[in-house]
Amino acid sequence: MTGYILKRLLSAIPVLLGITVIVFAIMALIPGDPATAILGSYATPENVEKLNRDLGLDKPLVQQYFIWLGNMLGGDFGTSFSLNRPVLDEVVERFGATLVLAGTAFVLCSIFGIVAGVVSAANQYGWGDKGITFAVLLGISIPSFFLGMMMILIFAVKLKWFPVSGMWPIYGDRDLWALLRHLTLPAIALAVVATGVIARLSRSAMLEVLRQDFIRTARAKGVHESGVIWRHALKAAMVSIIPVLGIQAGFVLSGAVYIEIVFQWPGVGRMLVDAILKRDILLVQGGVVLVAACYVLFNIAVDVAQSLLDPRIKT
């Protein structure tokens, strides 16, 4: 297992390098001069030229990339000009808020998606299966940002059950209850689509397992149906479900960008949008690379978990 983990970690290195190249190239292709955006009304030709020289933007793009990559490997992600603080400090602080939102949404969609898929498969073509299928298709069809706005309108503005936006109340205690009240709507809005996808694929995986011989053997031995479904069939189906969870983790993490905008959640997604609008190149590059690195590491963890369930995957 140690060798398999090391192999997966080594295979992640070219992926991360490719991500840095893509991010750097995209930011370099964005129209406009970063120095002009930074200086604003003080953007005289002399000031622009001096700032480009100070920031190293007068060097060839290839040289700029390797300077940035070398600094980043040394732990120096640069300084955000719009916030006047180290990029790494800002990203780590914002990533905590994103992790709370995305992590909660991922737990919700994993639990409800798997349970819905199992129940639907266990009652194939029954009313439970039809009801779950209808709800899943409805959830998949509704864009998360639109669902979020409708939830704000109904549950925050009309019914006043939850706060409209933010992570903490402006006044009052910042305790767990306050966090949960602010977290409920954005987490549900972010989890709905992923829940539908996981439910559909969990149902397919369960139906395939339920047709196998060892399930018929378990039933012939008198194992209770709930034991057959939840103990035997689900364990075998998890080999196919776990990769889906890894893919949906990426969807949840990327979907947090527009959910954070809708609910004014102070996470990485909102930070990246603001940084792009301000042409804060180092902040954008650092934020995207760190988020991508976390996603790659999560997928490695998913592969390891899958190999623990099915040792044949390691071969």
CATH architecture assignment, domain 98-265:
Orthogonal Bundle (1.10)
Residue 187: predicted pLDDT = 93
Amino acid at 135: A
Pairing of strands 85-86, 79-80: antiparallel
Counting as low any pLDDT under 50, the low residues of the chain are none
The sign of the CA dihedral 299, 301, 305, 311 is positive
- Answer yes or no: are the C-beta atoms of 289 and 131 closer than 8 Å: no
Amino acid at 83: L
- pTM beyond 0.75: the answer is yes
Dist. CA 7–CA 127, nearest whole Å: 47
Give the residue extent of every domain in the chain. Answer: 98-265
Q: Give whole-number Cα distances, 15 to 11, 18, 286, in Å.
A: 7, 5, 16
Residue 315: predicted pLDDT = 52
Residue 105: predicted pLDDT = 93
Tell me: the pLDDT tens digits for 10-39?
888 888 888 889 888 888 787 766 777 677
Dist. CA 80–CA 219, nearest whole Å: 63
Give phi and psi for 173, each to the nearest 5.
Answer: -75, 140
